[in-house]
Structure 1
Amino acid sequence: MPATKPTVYLETHSQDPAYNLAFEETVLKVRKDRPYLLLWQNDNTIVVGQNQNTAAEIDPDFVEAHHIHVVRRITGGGAVYHDLGNLNYSFLTDVDNAADMTYQQFTRPVVEALQGLGLQAEASGRNDILVEGRKVSGTAQRLLGKRMLFHGTLLFDSDLSTIAGALRADPSKFQSKSAQSVRSRVGNIRSFLKEDMNLPAFWQYLKSSFGGEGLESGSLTQEELAAVQALKENKYDTWEWTYGRSPHFTFINKRKWPGGMLEAGLQVTEGHIEDLRFYGDFLSLTSLDGTVEALRGVPYRRREVEKILKTLPLDRCFGSLTPQEILDTIFA
């Protein structure tokens, strides 16, 4: 993690996913003086990416029967499952030029920490970390001004059967819709260790590995903690944020691209785009609200939409998806 000042270490002291995500977002917004490291855990939870259609990502009957929380985060990417066998990490730091930042710069300390335990770890694909070909970590990031949040999961000793049951496997991502196709892709770090360790020991190891000797322990002020609680209650606990209300779509088009899944739902009235939503696991850096607003009222014609897209920071909104791929999805 690029840094010029010693990193400050924070803990949320909570396993409530809505509170933890509110804590992380608050640190991103109000603590801009130093690099920060967070290590935290959620109780049984599905965390969906900011641009995903929540209802399409989960098995609601399984989620209800197993009392699994469902929350939405502020970063892109796909849905992930958290339990107390999983450990989450968050890096928050300044970046001078977001266009020059790569996932490898942030995944490197994670990969090196795992390699330090004797594991055959490597960064792979768009945003995964693998050990012996099995996914043990998924990562995502968010840019706010010059402030970057990069966070990820670390499957240490999670219940892989619950992961498979809670998440719906998209047939365009896997050869089979079965739970086996999910289980075959993921693995627990503990099972690869040559010398066993428990999760508290792993937690302490990561804290030392990520922070080094210059790591400083910190805490939020009472005012900041009040802001966390308010954000939890007014945003992360709400149905509107987690599931969202969608317009009645005239068209729903979906395509899988190298940069991720993209689905466009459009409400077209008298030849003009009245409303639209973009869903998918593409790795956006910022909210798509500005893109959606810019396209409202535009004639539903490719050349007209293309004109608008050329004026927008598409790399920040849609990750590595190209303008051509976005247009091909909208007009599929």
Structure 2
Amino acid sequence: MSQEIHYLETGSQDPFYNLAFEETVLRSRRSGEYLLLWQNDNTIVIGQNQNAEGEINRAFVEAHQIHVVRRTTGGGAVYHDLGNLNYSFITDVGDAERLTMERFTRPIVEALQGLGLQAEASGRNDILVEGRKVSGTAQRLLRGRFLYHGTLLFDANPGMVSGALNVDPAKFESKSAKSVRSRIGNIREFLKTDMDMPAFWSYLKKTLAGSGLVEDHLTDEELAAVDELKRTKYDTWEWNFGRSPKYNLRNKRRWDGGTLEPCVEVDQGIIRQIVFYGDFLAVSPMDEVTGALMGTPFRREDVGAVLDRFPLRDYFGTITRDQVLDTIFYVD
């Protein structure tokens, strides 16, 4: 990262506002490097390609008045409370060939190591301490700008994490709450010298920004854009729950690159509607791909020809073209 890093805080614990704030920064600040630190209170944040109702424990969510919001990045569902601290890096894409997750995970891993923790990057998008997950990350590309964000479990409530989320049996051996808790850890429990959230926040801000820290604020115009985006997108049922089309064909496969679940409505051999659910690490919205597939004959070669028009890594992460087709046309 360059020496100068603009630092922003949302000043809110409202998840709908915070995601609108982050997207506004991504859209309006077209140069320079930015660091955001922020918190959501009592929230499930689902990935852009996930089926909300399939990810949440509806009865638990309603009983505990948990917010549910969809983000614009891929990956899986996560639970946020005030024991979490979220971070966002926004920067230029630069040389796309050199755009690796290590570029962004390394500063977080090194910051945790600076506290004496045995931290390491793992798998597609996790950061572990002593083998337990303390951070999940995701990313997005938008017109030459790159968003990389994640959550740090500092002192989160594991009972809420396990109760709020439905556990995919394809990902975990057991559906029990115990199996979820065994996978995650809180940073605070690993510290040799205790610190509270304000101290951790201050440490992370200083460590990630370093001597190049520039305290920044959004303009009145940008703040108005945040409010408008919150109202028209993030705080709507249509965005968070209403992205589930009718379908008459549904398959689900788990690949190294994540879970992929295409749901397709086929009428007279033609794709009328299609959606791809899953926790794969997309960096671009799926709308262009699904829009191009509508009206396509439901044949492997025709669907493959449409997929060939797109840089599939942007939309499906490391899930390959043939794996996408194998999932759509899978016969058990």
3-state SS in 2 of match to 1:328: helix
Aligned to 1:22: 20
1:318 is the counterpart of 2:320: no
Once residues 20 and 291 of structure 1 are traced to their aligned partners in structure 2, the CA distance between those partners, rounded to angstroms, is 28
Deviations 1:45-80 (A, max 9, x none): 000000000000000100011111000001000000
Aligned to 2:113: 115
Deviation, structure 1 residue 247: 2.4
- 1:265-284 equivalences under 5 Å are 265-284=263-282
Once residues 317 and 131 of structure 2 are traced to their aligned partners in structure 1, the CA distance between those partners, rounded to angstroms, is 25
1:97 is the counterpart of 2:91: no
Once residues 297 and 113 of structure 1 are traced to their aligned partners in structure 2, the CA distance between those partners, rounded to angstroms, is 50
Aligned to 2:61: 63
Deviations 1:130-160 (A, max 9, x none): 0000000000000001100000000000001
Aligned to 1:152: 150
Once residues 86 and 267 of structure 1 are traced to their aligned partners in structure 2, the CA distance between those partners, rounded to angstroms, is 39
Aligned to 1:240: 238
3-state SS in 2 of match to 1:283: coil
Aligned to 1:214: 212
Once residues 97 and 282 of structure 1 are traced to their aligned partners in structure 2, the CA distance between those partners, rounded to angstroms, is 23
3-state SS in 2 of match to 1:63: helix
- 1:178-193 equivalences under 5 Å are 178-193=176-191
Stretch moving more, 294-303 or 111-120: 294-303
Letter in 2 for 1:21: L
1:53 to 27, 51, 54: 51
Deviation, structure 1 residue 126: 0.2
Q: Which sections of structure 1, spanning at least 5 residues, go unmatched?
A: none
Letter in 2 for 1:290: E
Would the alpha carbon gap of residues 19 and 295 (structure 1) be closer, same or farther in structure 2, given more than 3 Å must change? same
Once residues 315 and 248 of structure 1 are traced to their aligned partners in structure 2, the CA distance between those partners, rounded to angstroms, is 26
TM-score w.r.t. the length of structure 1 is: 0.98
Once residues 100 and 66 of structure 1 are traced to their aligned partners in structure 2, the CA distance between those partners, rounded to angstroms, is 43
Alignment check: 8 A CA contact 2:51 2:244 kept: no
Once residues 278 and 98 of structure 1 are traced to their aligned partners in structure 2, the CA distance between those partners, rounded to angstroms, is 25
Letter in 2 for 1:233: R
Once residues 42 and 212 of structure 2 are traced to their aligned partners in structure 1, the CA distance between those partners, rounded to angstroms, is 33
Alignment check: 8 A CA contact 2:250 2:262 kept: yes
Identity %, equivalent residues:
64
Deviations 1:245-274 (A, max 9, x none): 422211001100000000000000111111
Aligned to 1:305: 303
Letter in 2 for 1:100: R
Once residues 104 and 10 of structure 1 are traced to their aligned partners in structure 2, the CA distance between those partners, rounded to angstroms, is 23
TM-score w.r.t. the length of structure 2 is: 0.98
Once residues 278 and 82 of structure 2 are traced to their aligned partners in structure 1, the CA distance between those partners, rounded to angstroms, is 27
3-state SS in 2 of match to 1:184: helix
Once residues 319 and 29 of structure 2 are traced to their aligned partners in structure 1, the CA distance between those partners, rounded to angstroms, is 31
2:193 to 183, 192, 195: 195
Once residues 107 and 281 of structure 1 are traced to their aligned partners in structure 2, the CA distance between those partners, rounded to angstroms, is 19
RMSD: 0.8
Once residues 70 and 97 of structure 2 are traced to their aligned partners in structure 1, the CA distance between those partners, rounded to angstroms, is 25
Letter in 1 for 2:308: K
Deviation, structure 1 residue 32: 1.4
3-state SS in 2 of match to 1:148: strand
Aligned to 1:226: 224
3-state SS in 1 of match to 2:205: helix
Aligned to 2:249: 251
Once residues 25 and 293 of structure 1 are traced to their aligned partners in structure 2, the CA distance between those partners, rounded to angstroms, is 23
